[in-house]
Amino acid sequence: MKNIIKLLCVLLLVSCEKETFYIPCDNPQPITQNPTQPNNEEFIDGCWLLKGGKMYMENLETLEVTELPHFIMGDTSSLRYGNPMYEFEVVIRNSTSWCFNLPQNIPGMGDFVLNGDSLTPYGLSVTGSNITVTEPLVGGYLLLGGSGRPILYEVVDFGESIIMVYVQESYENIDGYNCKYYSKLKFKKY
């Protein structure tokens, strides 16, 4: 009996396989440089207005991928599956604004202002290829529950200043299935 239990444990450990997470792109326009590289990161510097978005959910057991439009039920939605826990997770079409104030030196810390609230800005950690919204650098309050939110973006249209932002990758049990999801949001610079 002990040998059977040991064999089952070994089979379970060996059979677990890690998968690489790939973000699907909907026909991105070719660009010559990665916009998050140090010589072009200033493109995201400034304020952006949310124009639309979708949530992509992958069932890790069935490998089914579902695309869920954020604003199918109205102009307000959540980056978190279900209900938002933090103000950052509430998104309102044509109202939510994200302002990126990049640091003077890269790598460094700048500010991220949500919806024009410059009194309680978030931190903005910027390296040569990563941008992360973090907890505020001053004050004893937590706006993100003690964590950060990595921001990946692709430039959709340089001329019109439109970007797609990938944010809030999460793993959660949904309806009894292990799932991962993230949001892809469309922003226009203003």
pLDDT digits (tens, 9 = 90+) for 129-179: 889 999 887 777 778 877 889 999 999 998 999 999 999 999 999 999 999
> Tokens 């639309």 appear where?
52
Q: Please state the φ and ψ torsions of residue 59, each to the nearest 5 degrees.
A: -80, 115
> Tokens 């799932």 appear where?
179
Distance CA 93, CA 18 (A): 36
What was the pLDDT predicted at 2?
A: 61
Q: Is 13 part of any domain?
A: no
Residue in 167, 48, 15, 180 with CA at minimum distance from that of residue 114: 48
Q: Is 6 part of any domain?
A: no
Q: Are 180 and 21 in contact (CB under 8 A)?
A: yes
Q: Is 169 part of any domain?
A: yes
- 4: confidence class by pLDDT, cuts 50, 70, 90: low
Q: Is 138 part of any domain?
A: yes
Q: Are 98 and 90 in contact (CB under 8 A)?
A: no
pLDDT digits (tens, 9 = 90+) for 67-96: 999 999 999 999 999 899 999 999 999 999
Q: Range of 82's domain?
A: 36-189
Q: Is 2 part of any domain?
A: no
The CATH number of residue 77's host domain is 2.40.128
Q: Is 174 part of any domain?
A: yes
Q: What share of the chain is helix, strand, coil (3-state, %, to 5)?
A: 10, 45, 45
Distances (CA, A) of 5 to 1, 12, 13, 95: 6, 11, 12, 57
What was the pLDDT predicted at 98?
A: 97
Q: Which of 27-41, 51-65, 144-158 has the lowest mean pLDDT?
A: 27-41
What was the pLDDT predicted at 11?
A: 47
Q: Which of 13-17, 60-64, 79-83, 165-169 has the lowest mean pLDDT?
A: 13-17
Q: Is 5 part of any domain?
A: no
Q: Which helix (DSSP H) or strand (DSSP E) does residue 10 occupy?
A: helix 2-15
Q: Write the DSSP assignment of 32-71 as a string of letters.
A: SS-TTSTTTGGGG-EEEEEEEEEEEEEETTT--EEEEETT
Number of structural domains found in the chain: 1
What was the pLDDT predicted at 14?
A: 45
Q: Is 27 part of any domain?
A: no
> Which pTM does this prediction carry?
0.75
